[in-house]
Structure 1
C-alpha cells in the first residue's frame, strides 16, 4: 500500500501535508487539489491591489518538492472505496492509500430560484477574478446574502466606489454568526457608507441585470453575486458510505467511521461532549485541525479541542469572536480605546468573548480572553467591565489560584 493521500489542497489539506513531515512521517504523501493552481489562501481574495486579484500562495512548488509531497492539481476525487483503500480521481487515476485525509472543505450554497445561473459565487480565485474584473467606480452590484461573506464583499466594493445593494431574507444582517450588538454596529456602518439594504425579502428570480424580489420589486445591477453561505463538501464521503451529518462525522481524534480515514477542516463535524458534532469554520481552525490530524495519522492519539473563533474585516473595522455566544449568556460590556469588547458568562464561567474595533487593535484582548476561557475562570462581571482591570492580571490571578 502507498502512504497517505490527502483530498483537498486548501489551507487544511496543505498544512496537513507539511504537518506529517513535521511529525516525523517518512512515507509517501500525495496531495490532490481540484483547482489548477498551487495551494493558496482564500481570505486575501477580496484584497485587490491596483484592481488585480491577489493569489497568496500557501507554499511554493519548491517547498512541496523539498517536503517530498507529490502534488496533483486540477483534478478532484470521484470515488472512494474504503474497503479496498483506493480513491479514484476525475482523470481516471487510481491512488492506493494506507491512510486518507478528507479535507474537501465547503462549497457555496446555491440559489434555487429561476435564473440562479446568472449569479456569481465568491469562493475561489476564479470567482474573485470574475467579480473584480467586472467592477469599476459607478457600476452596480447586487449581493444576495448579508452574512459575513456578503458584508465583507460589500465593504470592499464600496471602497472602490461601486454602488452596492444587499438583499437578505432575514430581518437584519449578520444574524446567525455575529453577536447582536456588533451586528447592529456593522449594519449602521454599511448604511453610512452608502450600502442599500433590502431586508426581510426573498429572491423570486434572477435575470442577467436584475434581481426580482418576492414582493415584486426589482433591483437593477450590472453584476449579481450570491453569498448565501456554504455547505460542507461531503459528496465523496456520502457516496462511499461514511457517516455524515452537518459534515463528515469524526471522533475527537478526527477519525471518520471508516478505518484509516480522517477528516478535517470545513468538511468535518467533530464529536463533542454530549454526543453533538460541530463544524468549526475558520482559517485558524483549518490549520489547527490539519496539525492534529497530521500528528494522529503519524501515530499520535491527540484529541482536538479548540475554541471556535473567527474574524471579519469590514472597512477599517475588525471583528473577532471567540467561543459561541448564546442569547442565554450573561453579557458584560467593556469599552476600549479603539472599540468595544463583550464577554459572555454561563453560570458565572467565562465561555465566549467578542470585540469590534479599529483594525486589529483588539486582537490582544481577544487572545487574553481565549486564555481566560481555556483556564475555566469565573471572573467578577465588574472586573470584566472595568477597562482599568488588565485582562492579563486576571489571567495571572486565575493561574495562581
Structure 2
C-alpha cells in the first residue's frame, strides 16, 4: 500500500497527441499526480491512476464499458464519476477534465465529485440496524451514507475494534510489513461525521421479528425498520487436551493478530495446525519474522480440496523453499506446555500454536429469529431472508448463484463487501440482484494467487502456462463449464475470466 513516488509518463497538462491513445489507455501525470487517460465508445476520460484500495496500477487493469478494473484485487471504478462501484475499493477516485484542441488532448483540472442520488421512495426506512462490524456490515453502512440515506444507522459489533482490513491480519500486518494504522477501514472521525452509531463490545442476544427490535446483552431493545445480519464466521477451535492453554491462538480479529505478534516477539518455534489459506498465510508471515514453523494437517497435499493437486504441490514447495516444515497426513492430538503431540507419535517443540482449521458461520441469531437456514442463512437474489425486511450478507449468507445455478455460501472478504453494498441498496428499495462473480486472493510470501468463480467440485483442471515458473492460469471445469479460474501473475487474464463469467449470467 505504497503511494507512487514519482510522476509517470508525459505531462498531460501540456497536451498529448490524440493518436497516442491508439491502444485505449495512456498513463501520464498532472502536477506530479499520476493520471490515467482512457478512450471508450462513449468518449475520452481521465481518472486517478492508482486504485484506492491498495494502490494497484489501473493502467494494467481492464477497461469494460465505462469502467476500469484494478488488476490486483478486482476493484472497479466508473470512469465518468470516479465512484468505486465494486469492492474491495470503497473510496472514489478523482476525475479530470479532458479538452481536445488542435489534434491534442489536454488534462489540467479536476472535476467536481458528482452528488449522489437521494433516496426518494415513500417506504425508505427510518431505522437501520447492522449486526456485525466486519466487511459486509461496514460496506452496507458506507453504501447507505454514500446514497445519502438520512435515517438512523446503528452498527452492533462484539469486536473490540471498529471495522478493519481483515485480510491484512494474516498477511502484511502479521508479517510486520504493514503498520497498524493501515488497518482501520475508516477513522473514528468518519463514523462521527457520517452519523453511524458504532457500538463495540455489544452482543446481540435476540431478534424479535414481530416487534421489529433487537435485544442486546445488557437488555437494551433497539428498534429497526430494516435489519442486516452480517455476523460473519468464527474460527473452529481445537478440542484436544491442552487446547485451552494461553499459548494456543486462533486468528480472526485484530486482537487475535496482535496476540500472535506479541507471542512471536519472544519465540523461536511455532506450530500451525491446518493447511488452510489462513494457516498457510500465518506460516508465511511467521517465517517473515524468522520463526521456525511446522504445519500439521491431515491432507496429503495442502489446499488440494480447493485448488487441486498441481497447485497444492506448488504451494507446499513454495513454503518449503522458505523453511516451513510440513507434517501431512497427521493431526495434533495434545498440547502439553511447549510439547505438541501428533497422532503419528511425533512430538514437536513449540513456543506457541496457531489453529487454522477453518471457520463456521455464526447462525445462532438467525436460528433464534426463525429465519430459513441451510448451512447458512438462506437469502433470495436480493439478499433478503425468509423474513421480509431482514437481509443477510457475508460469510453467513447462502444465495442463488446465477453462474453455477446452485445455492452457494462462500467465506470471502470481497464477496462479503459486495453483498453488504447490494443489501444496503435493497434496503432502500432498489431491488438489485446480487450477481457478482466471487473473487478472493491469497498471498504467500511474494506470490499472489487470484481466484475467480466458485468450484466446489470439478471433473477437469485445464492448466495453461507453468505453475513452477509462477506464470499460469488454471480453469476448473465441470461438464465442460468453467466454474472457476485461478491465476498466478496473470492479472489481466483473471479480470478477463471475471468478465466472461459475468456475461454468461447477463
TM-score, scaled to structure 1? 0.87
The equivalent of 2:494 in structure 1 is 366
- Residue number among 174, 177, 180 corresponding to 1:54 in the alignment: 180
Q: Secondary structure at the match of 2:449?
A: strand
The equivalent of 1:193 in structure 2 is 322
Higher RCO (CA-CA < 8 Å; seq separation 6+): 1
Give CA-to-partner distance per residue, 1:41-72, whole Å, 9 cap, x none.
Answer: 11122323758862511112222222221111
Unaligned runs of 5+ in 2: 1-124
The answer to whether the aligner puts 1:280 opposite 2:410 as a matched pair is yes
Take 1:190 and 1:322, find their aligned partners in 2: how far apart are those partners? 23
Shift of 1:346: 4.7
- Residue number among 204, 223, 227 corresponding to 1:100 in the alignment: 227
Higher helix share: 1
Shift of 1:345: 4.6
Instruction: Please say if residues 209 and 224 of structure 1, whose CA atoms lie closer than 8 Å, have aligned partners that are also in contact.
Output: no
Q: Secondary structure at the match of 2:264?
A: coil
**Residue 346 and residue 169 in structure 1: after superposition, are their counterparts in 2 closer, same or farther (change >3 A)?**
closer
The equivalent of 1:298 in structure 2 is 428
Q: Secondary structure at the match of 1:258?
A: coil
Q: Which segment is superposed worse, 64-73 or 260-269?
A: 64-73
Take 2:167 and 2:451, find their aligned partners in 1: how far apart are those partners? 17
- Residue number among 148, 154, 178 corresponding to 1:30 in the alignment: 154
Q: Secondary structure at the match of 2:299?
A: coil
The answer to whether the aligner puts 1:41 opposite 2:165 as a matched pair is yes
Shift of 1:318: 0.6
Instruction: Please say if residues 436 and 502 of structure 2, whose CA atoms lie closer than 8 Å, have aligned partners that are also in contact.
Output: no
Q: Secondary structure at the match of 1:104?
A: coil
Take 1:51 and 1:18, find their aligned partners in 2: how far apart are those partners? 28
Shift of 1:314: 0.4
The equivalent of 1:112 in structure 2 is 239
**Residue 252 and residue 50 in structure 1: after superposition, are their counterparts in 2 closer, same or farther (change >3 A)?**
closer
Shift of 1:286: 1.3
The equivalent of 1:341 in structure 2 is 473
- Residue number among 444, 455, 458 corresponding to 1:314 in the alignment: 444
**Residue 120 and residue 270 in structure 1: after superposition, are their counterparts in 2 closer, same or farther (change >3 A)?**
same
Give 1:1-400 correspondences, 5 Å limit. 3-46=127-170, 47-48=172-173, 54=180, 56-118=183-245, 119-136=248-265, 139-272=268-401, 276-325=406-455, 326-329=457-460, 331-335=462-466, 339-357=471-489, 362-376=490-504
Q: Which segment is superposed worse, 48-57 or 232-241?
A: 48-57
Instruction: Please say if residues 270 and 351 of structure 2, whose CA atoms lie closer than 8 Å, have aligned partners that are also in contact.
Output: yes
Instruction: Please say if residues 137 and 162 of structure 1, whose CA atoms lie closer than 8 Å, have aligned partners that are also in contact.
Output: no
**Residue 217 and residue 309 in structure 1: after superposition, are their counterparts in 2 closer, same or farther (change >3 A)?**
same
Instruction: Please say if residues 156 and 203 of structure 2, whose CA atoms lie closer than 8 Å, have aligned partners that are also in contact.
Output: yes
The equivalent of 1:380 in structure 2 is none
Take 1:295 and 1:252, find their aligned partners in 2: how far apart are those partners? 13
Q: Which segment is superposed worse, 127-136 or 327-336?
A: 327-336
**Residue 289 and residue 370 in structure 1: after superposition, are their counterparts in 2 closer, same or farther (change >3 A)?**
same
How many residue pairs match? The answer is 374
Instruction: Please say if residues 140 and 163 of structure 1, whose CA atoms lie closer than 8 Å, have aligned partners that are also in contact.
Output: yes
Unaligned runs of 5+ in 1: 378-398
Instruction: Please say if residues 29 and 69 of structure 1, whose CA atoms lie closer than 8 Å, have aligned partners that are also in contact.
Output: yes
Give CA-to-partner distance per residue, 1:15-44, whole Å, 9 cap, x none.
Answer: 101211223432211111212222211112
Take 1:346 and 1:123, find their aligned partners in 2: how far apart are those partners? 33
Please give the root-mean-square deviation of Cα atoms over the aligned residues, in Å: 2.4
Give CA-to-partner distance per residue, 1:214-234, whole Å, 9 cap, x none.
Answer: 222211100011110111111
Q: Secondary structure at the match of 2:249?
A: coil
